[in-house]
């Protein structure tokens, strides 16, 4: 398990980038231990076969005036099994906390499973905490819009996936991702045929 302690005034950036073929079990605990400490956690996964991805995060706001933001987005195709289990704990007295946690998923195939548990435990009152989670599919209307403008289906799906993942793509890894997305889209199309 990874464990980080962030001191006053520091900002910790964590990035997870998981491409097809890679199974990962991530367990990370971050403690915001001094006023002004901040965490930015971004995660991306793209699964197209039998990967098992499990992400567990525990963010502790132990003192006042810390910020944390977690944004985790991913695509589950093939027979992938994806789970996210996040917990934010705001200690008594940690006023002025701002904590955000989001996990969004797109499922491509009947055989992929997604489970998500975005959890909050809050013991202080002057806080701004929010979390959100979605599990859905690629929108048919967007696809239709693009296809009616002459964009081939595969390209349109690629664009949809890329734009969905855009906020969490680490700098300099875009091309790598585009390639992987192309393969995933072609793969899942063959599955459905």
Partner 1 sequence: MSEEKKIIEQFTSSEYKEGFVTDVEQVFVPKGLNEEIIRTISALKEEPEWLLEFRLEAFRAWQQMEEPRWGHLDLPDIDYQDIIYYAAPKKDKDRPKEIDPKLSETFDKLGIPLNERDVLAGVVAVDAVFDSVSVTTTFRKTLEEKGIIFCSFSEAVKQHPDLVRKYLASVVPVRDNFFAALNSAVFTDGSFCYIPKGVRCPMELSSYFRINARGTGQFERTLIVADEGSYVSYMEGCTAPMRDEHQLHAAVVEIVVEKDADVKYSTVQNWYPGDSEGRGGILNLVTKRGICKGSGSHLSWTQVETGSAITWKYPSTILKGDFSSSEFYSVAVTNNRQQADTGTKMIHIGRGTKSRIVSKGISAGYSQNSYRGLVRMGKGADGARNFSQCDSLLIGKNCGAHTFPDIQSYNPRATVEHEATTSKISDDQLFYCQQRGIGQEDAVGLIVNGYAREVLARLPMEFAVEARKLLQVSLEGSVG
Q: Is 68 in the site for partner 1 (CB under 8 A)?
A: no
- Window 161-190: contact mask with partner 1 (x via CB under 8 A): ------------------------------
Stretch that binds partner 1, among 28-36, 37-45, 131-139, 152-160 (CB under 8 A): 131-139
Radius of gyration of the chain (CA): 18
Q: How far is the CB of 126 from partner 1 (least distance, A)?
A: 6
Q: Is 129 in the site for partner 1 (CB under 8 A)?
A: yes
Tokens representing residue 91 in the block:
């200690």
Stretch that binds partner 1, among 44-52, 120-128, 145-153, 160-168 (CB under 8 A): 120-128
d(CA 191, CA 189) in angstroms, rounded, equals: 5
d(CA 193, CA 190) in angstroms, rounded, equals: 5
DSSP lists the bridge partners of residue 31 as 5, 60
Q: Is 59 in the site for partner 1 (CB under 8 A)?
A: no
Beta-carbon contacts of residue 3 (< 8 Å; ≥ 6 apart):
28, 29, 30, 31
Interface with partner 1 by CB under 8 A: which residues? 92-93, 105, 107-110, 112-137
């Amino acid at each position: 398990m990874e464990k980080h302690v962030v001191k006053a005034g520091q900002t910790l950036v964590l990035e997870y980038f998981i491409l097809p073929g890679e199974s990962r079990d991530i367990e990370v605990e971050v403690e915001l231990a001094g006023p002004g400490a901040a965490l930015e956690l971004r995660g991306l996964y793209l699964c197209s076969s039998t990967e098992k991805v499990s992400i567990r995060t525990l963010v502790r706001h132990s003192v006042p005036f810390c910020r944390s933001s977690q944004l985790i987005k991913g695509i589950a195709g093939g027979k992938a099994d994806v789970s996210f289990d996040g917990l934010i704990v705001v200690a008594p007295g940690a006023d002025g906390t701002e904590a955000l946690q989001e996990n969004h998923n797109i499922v491509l195939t009947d055989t992929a499973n997604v489970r998500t548990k975005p959890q909050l435990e809050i013991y202080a009152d002057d806080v701004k905490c929010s979390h959100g989670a979605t599990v859905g599919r690629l929108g048919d209307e967007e696809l239709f819009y693009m296809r009616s403008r002459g964009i081939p289906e595969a390209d349109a799906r690629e664009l949809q996936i890329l734009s969905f993942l855009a906020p969490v793509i680490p700098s300099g890894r875009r091309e790598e991702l585009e390639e992987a997305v192309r393969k995933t889209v072609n793969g899942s199309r063959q599955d459905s045929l």
